[in-house]
Amino acid sequence: MKVKVIGIPVQDQQKALQFYTEKLGFVKKIDIPLSEGNRWLTVVSKEEPDGAAILLEPSPNHFQPARAYQKALFDAGIPYTQFDCEDVQQEFERLRSLGVEFSVTPTEMGTVKIAVFDDTCGNQIQIVQML
């Protein structure tokens, strides 16, 4: 088995595309219109364009359990997912200079350093560096 796509629920796909490309530095890979104004919209790391894609999946507004789950994770400060990076401190400073809001500043936790930010689309995302 291989991981090719991981979904992240987002409240607004266009806003998510702007955040994930303009702030985080991902690049758009696929953008196919679907029903009800939704899109099959993926982004990938510019360092690994053939690596796993992130599906910026429309948060299902019509399905209350999914909305409640996403909000509960966010409100508890629990990251929806995590991204690896080479230097958490450097990435934190770069993202903060772009206006990204962090709930957890760079923190060493055993063999990793982490930070957690708001993706502006309903999720907390953790970045992690192996030490």
Express each pLDDT in 98-118 by its tens digit: 999 999 999 999 999 999 999
pLDDT, averaged across the chain = 96
CATH architecture under which domain 69-131 falls: Roll (3.10)
On whether the 1-60 domain is CATH 3.10.180.10, my answer is: yes
In angstroms, rounded to a whole number, what is the distance separating the alpha carbons of residues 117 and 102? 4
pLDDT at 36: 87
Q: Is the pLDDT of residue 42 over 80?
A: yes
Give residue for tokens 């080479």: 86
What contacts 109, CB < 8 A, 6 or more positions away? none
pTM of the full structure: 0.94
| Domain spans of the chain, in order of start | 1-60, 69-131
Residue pLDDT, tens place only, 65-102: 988 999 999 999 999 999 999 999 999 999 999 999 99
Same fold, 1-60 and 69-131: yes
